[in-house]
């Protein structure tokens, strides 16, 4: 080969080497940018986990306590309903007895007795009214 061709090849290799250096510099810059972005995302996620996990744990604990209190309240409500039911049943029995007692009263006889008492007391009232 001729010297001219060799020099042309060397010049061409230098140019290609320069182009390759530029691309490598761009690639290095983008790689650094990607690394910084990834690091930023990792730090953000780590901070979110550090901040949110205790809050979530606290919230879940409070939810469990609230569910326990609701369960206790439901048991108490059931007991109250059972007490009211017993009270209504007892009242119903007493009311039934009272109605039976009222039904056993002879109202015609009672009215007759009141009339007879009025007839007996009326002359006494007239007698005592004269002494006024």
- Counting the structural domains of the chain, the total is 1
What is the sign of the dihedral through the CA atoms of 100, 101, 105 and 107? Answer: negative
- pLDDT averaged per 10 residues in sequence order, the chain, 132 residues: 87 94 97 97 95 92 93 92 88 82 78 84 78 70
Q: Where does the chain have alpha helices with state H?
A: 3-104, 107-129
What pTM was computed for the model? 0.44
Distance CA 109, CA 22 (A): 127
Angle (CA) 27-28-29 rounded to 5° is 90
Q: What is the pLDDT of residue 108?
A: 83
Q: Which domain range does residue 70 map to?
A: 3-129
């Amino acid at each position: 080969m001729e010297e001219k061709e060799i020099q042309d090849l060397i010049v061409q290799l230098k140019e290609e080497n320069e182009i390759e250096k530029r691309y490598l510099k761009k690639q290095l810059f983008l790689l650094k940018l990607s690394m910084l972005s990834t690091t930023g995302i990792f730090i953000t996620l780590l901070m979110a986990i550090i901040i949110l996990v205790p809050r979530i744990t606290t919230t879940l604990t409070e939810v469990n306590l609230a569910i326990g209190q609701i369960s206790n309240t439901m048991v108490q409500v059931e007991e109250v309903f059972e007490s009211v039911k017993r009270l209504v049943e007892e009242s119903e029995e007493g009311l039934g007895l009272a109605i039976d007692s009222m039904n056993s009263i002879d109202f015609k006889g009672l009215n007759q007795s009141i009339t007879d008492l009025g007839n007996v007391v009326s002359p006494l009232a007239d007698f005592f009214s004269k002494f006024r």
